[in-house]
Structure 1
C-alpha cells in the first residue's frame, strides 16, 4: 500500500504522479475487496481468470484515470 507513495515521491510531473497514485489505489481496492469477494462467491472463476479480469480492469481504469488527469492538469 505504501509503494505508490514511495514511487511517486521521485516523479517530477504532477500528472504522472496522479496517474500512478490513482491507478495504484484502484488496483489495491480491486484486489483487497472485489477480488476476495469473487473468489468467495458462487461464481466459478479460477485464479488465472481473476488475473485476466484484474488486467482488463486495470487497463480500463488507466484510460479513465488518464482522461481525468488530462482534464485536471
Structure 2
C-alpha cells in the first residue's frame, strides 16, 4: 500500500529529534516529546509548541484560532 491508500492509523510516525521548546518564552521541555500540558500548533506548515504557562495566558487567542503572531 502506498501512503495515499493506507489508513491513517497505519502511517509511520514521525519522530522528533530536537528538544521541544516553547515558541513564546523559550522554556525547554525535558526530552524530545512535549509534556501533555503543552499545546501544539501548526502555523504556516511548521509545528510550534507552547508551554502550559504561555498557553494559559493566551487561551482566548488559541481558542479563537489566531496565529501566535497576533498574541
Per chain length, whose mean CA-contact separation is higher, i.e. which structure has more relative contact order (CA < 8 Å, sep 6+)? 1
What TM-score do you get using the length of structure 2 for normalisation? 0.24
TM-score by length of 1: 0.24
